[in-house]
Each structure stands twice: as structure tokens, then as C-alpha cells.
Structure 1
Amino acid sequence: MAHVLIVDDSPTERHVLQGMLERNGFKVSLATNGEEGVAQAKAIKPDLILMDVVMPGLNGFQATRELSRTPDTASIPVIIVTTKDQETDRIWGMRQGARDYLTKPVQESQLMTTIRSLIGA
């Protein structure tokens, strides 16, 4: 069973994404901000991370950059899932090390297709 870490400061978003993932057979862990997300990623080594951008403290771009540049976590694919829908945001997110970029509200079928393309689950 593939393990996905959701990093999002919104309880509603965490709940919605967790429901989608669990319905599709994924194990889910949750983090409420960038710092917690980075710490959990290092501790549990999930198969994939869903990363929000707009969070207090360490934002999703900064957390993604840190994860992608740390040897222990660099191989974990990060999908940015955010309301920031500008092309410049998408380009910046990918430059920080994200493997894909989805805008909210994300459709379950799109999310599952994206995850499976990255981890083959």
C-alpha cells in the first residue's frame, strides 16, 4: 500500500484529500504546515507528498525546495496542490523540485492519474 503525506494548513482540504486517497487504497499521513511536513517526510519517508503552497511559516515552495535538495528526501515525488493557478506559480513550483502541479479544487480522477504516473501505484 503506497503511503502519501498530505501537507496542508486547511483541515477541510486535508479531509477531502485524505478521503480521496483512502478510497483509492492509499495509506495517509497528515501535516499542518511546511515545517511539520518536512519533518514528517524525513521521519516516515512516504512514497509521495501532496504539498499546499499558502501556509504560515515555511510555505509549500520553500518546503518543496528543502525536500528536493535534501539527500534523504530528494527521491520522494512532490505534487503541489494549491489555489495558486498562475503559470508563473506553476513554473516556480516545478523549479523548486515539484514533480507536478495541480490547482484546487482537484478532481479525484485527475489526482489519482497524476499520483499513479509518478509512483506506479
Structure 2
Amino acid sequence: MYKVLVAEDSNVDAKYIESILKEGGYELFFAKDGEEAEELIKRENFDLVILDVVMPKKNGFQICREMKKNEKTKNIPVIIVTSKKEEADKYWGKMQGADEYITKPFEPIDLLVAVKKCLKK
């Protein structure tokens, strides 16, 4: 079973992601802000991390960048799921090391395809 961290400060969005992924049998962990996500990443061995960008304390871009610089976490795939839709945002997300970049609102299939792609690497 794959362990997936979802860092999302919106309860509605977190529940939406949970409803999409629970059918796939993923073991889901949730963080409500960037610092909580960081603590979980240090404690657990995740197969995938899904990050919102706009969160309290630390944003998803910062967490992604730190993960990709860290020897222990650099190979964990990261999917950024955000309302930041501009091409510059997408470019910045990829520059931080994100494997996939999905903009809200999104269809369940968009997330499922990105998750399967990331877990096959």
C-alpha cells in the first residue's frame, strides 16, 4: 500500500482529494499547513506527497524545494495541486522540483493520472 501525504489547508479540498484517492487503497496522511507537512515528511517514509501552494506557515513551493534538496526525500514524487494557474506559477513549480502540477478546480481523473504516473517512476 502506498503512503501518500496530502498537505492542504482547505478542508473541502482535502476531503475532495481523499474521496478521489481512497478508492485506490492509498494510506493517506493529512497536514493542514507547511510546518505540519514538514514534520510528517521527517517522520514517515512517503511514496508520494501532494502539496497545495498557498498554505499557512510554509508554502508548497518551499516544501517541494526543500524535499528535492534533501538526500533522504529527493526521490519522493511531488504533485502540486493549486489555484495558481499562471504559466509563471507552473514554471516555478517545476523549477522547485514538482513532478506534476495540477490547477484547481480539477477533475478526479486528472489527479488519478498524475498519481499513477508518479508512482510508476
Q: Normalising by the residue count of structure 1, what TM-score does the alignment of the two structures yield?
A: 0.95
> C-alpha displacement at 1:3, in angstroms?
1.3
- Distance in 2 of aligned mates of 1:35 and 1:20: 25
Give the share of equivalent positions with the same residue, in percent. 38
**SS of equivalent residue, structure 2 residue 112:** helix
Aligned partner of 2:18 in structure 1 is 18
Letter in 2 for 1:10: S
Q: State the distance in 2 between where 1:47 and 1:106 align.
A: 22
Show the counterpart of 2:8: 8
The answer for the alignment partner of 2:112 in structure 1 is 112
Bigger mean CA deviation after superposition, 81-90 or 104-113: 104-113
Per the alignment, in what secondary structure is the counterpart of residue 9 of structure 2? coil
Compute the displacement of 1:39 (Å).
Answer: 1.4
Structure-2 separation of matches of 1:104 and 1:43: 29
Distance 1:42 1:106 in 2: 29
Question: Paired residue for 1:68?
Answer: 68
Q: 1:7-57 CA deviation, whole Å, 9 max, x = no partner?
A: 011111111101111022211000011111121112111110110001111
Rounded to whole Å, the distance in 2 between the matches of 1:62 and 1:108 is 26
Task: Kindly report the root-mean-square deviation, in angstroms, between the aligned alpha carbons of the 2 structures.
Answer: 1.3
Q: Paired residue for 1:39?
A: 39
For structure 1, the residue ranges without an aligned partner over 5 or more in a row are none
Give secondary structure in 2 for the equivalent of 1:72. coil
Distance 1:68 1:36 in 2: 18
Gaps of 5+ in 2: none
Quote the residue 1:83 is aligned against.
Answer: 83
Please say which of residues 99-108 and 83-92 is displaced more in the overlay. Answer: 99-108
Structure 2 residue matching 1:64: 3-state secondary structure? helix
Deviations 1:54-100 (A, max 9, x none): 11111111111111111111111110000000000000011011111
Q: Which runs of 4+ in 1 moved over 4 A?
A: none
Q: How many residues align?
A: 121
